[in-house]
Homo-oligomer: A and B are copies of this chain.
Amino acid sequence: VADLSDRRTRPNLEQVARRAGVSRATVSRVVNGLATVDPDLRRRVEDAIGELGYVPNLAARSLVTRRTDTLALVVAEPDFRVFGDPFFSGIVRGVNLECQSAGLHMLLLMAQTSGDLGYIDAYLRTAPVDGVLLISEHAQDDPWPRSFARHGMPFVMGGRPVVDDPDVLYVDNDNVGGARSAAERLLDRGATRIGTVAGPRDMSAGVDRLTGFRAALGRRYRASRVEHSDFTMGGGEAATRRLLERCPDLDGLFVASDLMALGALRALADAGRRVPDDVAIVGFDDVEAAAMATPPLTTVRQETVLQGRAMVRLFLAHHRPGARRAAADGIPEITPDQRSVLLPVQLVERSSG
């Protein structure tokens, strides 16, 4: 028995084989769990592995298998957003969680500045990675999906890409359904002149939430009661002012993000409208500040941790055909024939609307 557990002098297959009195191939089969091994030999090999403290050399393995069992999670946002915004941190947590349970490593890449984008693009061509999970809100002119596809790098997107491409895998929250519930909530409360502060036209979350809103309102929908903005608090405030000016009789408002909704609350207060008595309001995202707002904001919650986990599972379904994974914890079973996953969202009822 030599130097157990010192990584600088790791034993290799050869040494385990000698100790167990078998060939390298047999040890390899045991290590990889190929059932076709005599129970007796298997025992001897396992003993030898334990005694020597054998650990496979992953570099050697991936040299021959051409796999690294590592996924890169690329967040095309400045890092302070990644850690500050619960949307991103939830996804990171979910990806991390699911990678662990699938025996994968997670490489985290953050594109701080736009200059980093080129760097990361180049980096990913050499990175020891089997695939990429990409979260980017600038889906409009996003060059990455094309770049990945061109380089033959498997990838899964978080959020539906605006430009429709049947070859792109993605996991998204049910923005359409969530917006529909939000609008229906306003209708249920008796609002009849309902407007919306919508998100950007070049982001799928913006587009889809407007779609759901419109679907719920049906013929009560008025294009004049729509203002587009940029998912920021300041933008939401300004858009709400414009809306109030144009439609002073508004009695219901769906705001496509909580950040914008916080701005809307301010605009309404400034205009002397009471919430929810004069104007009922529903947001989207369920950020932490939503519950603290005055009045507490009714909103739509998306399970971002689940989204992260589903991204990993969608990747596995397509690029690890072998390992079939059962449904679990709110994630539906994902089969290789589906190119996307849509996760349910939930209305969180508070007093604002």
Residues on A facing B (Cβ under 8 Å): 5-9, 55-60, 62-63, 68, 70, 79-80, 83-84, 86, 89, 92-93, 96-97, 100, 105-108, 110, 112, 119, 125-128, 150-153
In the complex the two chains form, is A128's CB within 8 Å of B126's CB?
Answer: no
Q: Name the residue of chain B whose CB is nearest to the CB of A88.
A: B83
Q: Which residues of B contact A89 (CB under 8 A)?
A: 83-84
Q: Name the residue of chain B whose CB is nearest to the CB of A150.
A: B5
Knowing A6-B152, A89-B83, A126-B58 are in contact, say whether A108-B106 is a contact too (CB < 8 A).
Answer: yes
The 3 closest A-B pairs by CB, nearest first: A83-B89, A59-B63, A59-B62
Q: Which residues of B contact A93 (CB under 8 A)?
A: 79-80, 83, 110
**Can you name 24 A-B pairs with beta carbons within 8 Å?**
A5-B125, A6-B150, A8-B152, A9-B152, A55-B126, A57-B63, A58-B126, A58-B128, A59-B63, A59-B128, A79-B96, A83-B83, A83-B92, A83-B93, A84-B89, A93-B110, A96-B108, A96-B110, A97-B112, A100-B119, A105-B107, A105-B127, A106-B107, A106-B108
Knowing A5-B151, A125-B5, A150-B5 are in contact, say whether A107-B110 is a contact too (CB < 8 A).
Answer: no
In the complex the two chains form, is A55's CB within 8 Å of B125's CB?
Answer: yes
Q: Which residues of B contact A126 (CB under 8 A)?
A: 55-56, 58
Q: Which residues of B contact A106 (CB under 8 A)?
A: 107-108
Q: Which residues of B contact A60 (CB under 8 A)?
A: 59, 63
Q: Which residues of B contact A97 (CB under 8 A)?
A: 112
Task: Tell me, in angstroms, the Cα distance from A97 to B109 when the chains sit together.
Answer: 10
In the complex the two chains form, is B125's CB within 8 Å of A128's CB?
Answer: no
Knowing A5-B125, A6-B151, A151-B7 are in contact, say whether A59-B59 is a contact too (CB < 8 A).
Answer: yes
- What's the least CB distance linking A140 to chain B, in Å? 24
- What's the least CB distance linking A50 to chain B, in Å? 13
Q: Name the residue of chain B whose CB is nearest to the CB of A96.
A: B110
Contact of A108 among B62, B108, B127, B152 (CB under 8 A): B108
In the complex the two chains form, is A153's CB within 8 Å of B108's CB?
Answer: no
- What's the least CB distance linking A10 to chain B, in Å? 9
Q: Which residues of B contact A108 (CB under 8 A)?
A: 96, 106, 108
Q: Which residues of B contact A79 (CB under 8 A)?
A: 92-93, 96
Task: Tell me, in angstroms, the Cα distance from A128 to B119 when the chains sit together.
Answer: 23
- What's the least CB distance linking A58 to chain B, in Å? 5
Q: Which residues of B contact A6 (CB under 8 A)?
A: 150-152
Q: Which residues of B contact A62 (CB under 8 A)?
A: 59
Q: Which residues of B contact A9 (CB under 8 A)?
A: 152
- What's the least CB distance linking A46 to chain B, in Å? 16
- Contacts A100-B119, A107-B107 aside, 4 further interface pairs with beta carbons under 8 A come to A56-B126, A63-B63, A83-B92, A96-B108
Task: Tell me, in angstroms, the Cα distance from A219 to B119 when the chains sit together.
Answer: 57
Q: Name the residue of chain B whose CB is nearest to the CB of A80.
A: B93
In the complex the two chains form, is B7's CB within 8 Å of A125's CB?
Answer: yes
Task: Tell me, in angstroms, the Cα distance from A231 to B103 when the chains sit together.
Answer: 35
Task: Tell me, in angstroms, the Cα distance from A9 to B66 when the chains sit together.
Answer: 11
Q: Name the residue of chain B whose CB is nearest to the CB of A56.
A: B126
- What's the least CB distance linking A180 to chain B, in Å? 30
In this complex, which of A56, A80, A128, A152 has the most chain B Cβ atoms within 10 angstroms of its Cβ?
A128
